[in-house]
Amino acid sequence: MERYEMAELLRNKANVSYDEARRALENSGWDMLRAMVTLEQEGKLNPPHGTGSGTRKAPQGKAKEEGLLIKVLNWLTGLIDKGNQHRFIIEKGGRQAGSMTVTVFVTLLLLLHGFSLFLLFLGLLMGYRYRFVSEVQIEEAKFAAREAERAARELEDWHTVNSFGGESAG
């Protein structure tokens, strides 16, 4: 970049005259950053027209707003994920009549709160029971049921082999 172009660029960025920009660049060895610092130290760094205040406050405020927004969105995403890992179970007589994720349950409660509460109360009167279960508990119960089924098959096979062996011996 030629010196003229550098001075023009600094003039536009710092909102100073061409002579001030060129002098700052010459004093800083044509280093753009040092020239900006020099102009700022001299109090000649003017905000761009139409902004009213310094250029630094708006980006910092915007960054704080974006940081807060990101924190809120992360919290909400975590909450939804946790709700999707748990289920609302409806049971009657020891058998499961229905289930849904806690996220869906809470959404229905918020959107249709009066109707949802009426249905929950009516279900209680009709003998339904409600509980919350995590996906981990459901997986553990399924694993225990598979293990119990495997053990029952092994016991049945053992019994069949032993009863067959006992009949041929007698």
- Looking at the DSSP bridge assignments, the partners of residue 99 are 89
Residue 8: count of CB within 10 angstroms of its CB: 15
- Do 86 and 164 lie in a common domain? yes
Listed residue (68, 65, 18) closest to 39, CA to CA = 18
* pLDDT value at residue 55: 46
- Do 36 and 85 lie in a common domain? no
* pLDDT value at residue 54: 46
88 three-class SS: strand
Q: Is residue 86 part of a domain?
A: yes
128-153 pLDDT, tens per residue? Answer: 999 998 878 878 888 898 999 999 99
Length of the chain: 170
56-78 pLDDT, tens per residue? Answer: 444 566 667 778 888 899 899 98
- Do 17 and 85 lie in a common domain? no
CA distance linking residue 87 with residue 115, whole number of Å: 20
Nearby residues of 49 by Cβ (< 8 Å), 6 or more positions away: 15
Q: Is residue 127 part of a domain?
A: yes
Q: Is residue 51 part of a domain?
A: no
* pLDDT value at residue 148: 92
Q: Is residue 61 part of a domain?
A: no
Structure tokens at 144: 């225990």
Q: Is residue 34 part of a domain?
A: yes
Q: Is residue 52 part of a domain?
A: no
- Do 36 and 86 lie in a common domain? no
Structure tokens at 135: 């996906």
Give me the domain span that covers residue 27. 3-41
Q: Is residue 50 part of a domain?
A: no
The count of domains in the chain is 2
DSSP 30: S
Q: Residues 92, 128: contact at Cβ < 8 Å?
A: yes
88-124 pLDDT, tens per residue? Answer: 999 999 899 999 999 999 999 999 989 999 999 999 9
- pLDDT at residue 169 is higher than 50: no
Candidate ranges 9-23, 45-59, 121-135; pick with highest mean pLDDT: 121-135
Q: Is residue 56 part of a domain?
A: no
- Looking at the DSSP bridge assignments, the partners of residue 86 are 134
pTM listed for this prediction: 0.46
- Do 30 and 92 lie in a common domain? no
Query: What is the chain's mean pLDDT, rounded?
Result: 83
